[in-house]
Structure 1
Amino acid sequence: MTHKIFKMSFASVYPHYVNKVEKKDRTKAQLDEIIHWLTGYDAAGLTEALEDQRDFETFFDQAPAKNPNRKLIKGVVCGHRVEEIEDPLMQEIRYLDKLVDELARG
């Protein structure tokens, strides 16, 4: 099953992540830091991913170095336990969502 978000551009969702963390007195730099940690994208790579409008599938497929510790991320996002999500791409997206939620919480 292909989820709609898989083909959404990462750049179209990124501003929502920024707004979410900034509302909680966190910064875009802190958001970028967790994206770097999760995916291995450096600042230039993240900028390129945003500029070329790559979709989530491509964003995660081309991630330079997915952090092996991402598998330790646990918890609920959108009513689903991230550690129990079976679709690998959806799980990657939910790892990011969970990290954004945690950053926003402080």
Structure 2
Amino acid sequence: MESLKNLSKYTLENYSLNLKEFQEFCTNHQIIDTSDIQPTLVKDYFHYIKNEKQNKAGTVNNKESCVKNLFQLLSRRRCSGREPAKKMKQMVVGRMEVVKESI
């Protein structure tokens, strides 16, 4: 996500849409600053896009990757010392994706 210059217009548009959706989810949960985002909120968002929005596995993976990359970028730029999505791992069960929090 840090080097956006080599990405296609389509990829950049998808990043933008995915991040706007995550921002709306955060706003709906009274979160307006990235430093207030906890791992449970990220897990709830992944559950929301999977079960309530019923996104397909590929779409869920793209959205999860986008959110994780956002926090990696913030961490690298020292805007945030944490990565609330870092411990989230994906497990493939048949065609269904299951998000599992690492302990």
TM-score normalised by structure 1 residue count: 0.31
TM-score normalised by structure 2 residue count: 0.32
Relative CO higher for 1 or 2, CA cutoff 8 Å, sep ≥ 6? Answer: 1
Kindly name which structure, 1 or 2, has the bigger radius of gyration based on alpha carbons. Answer: 2
Higher helix share: 1
Higher strand share: 2
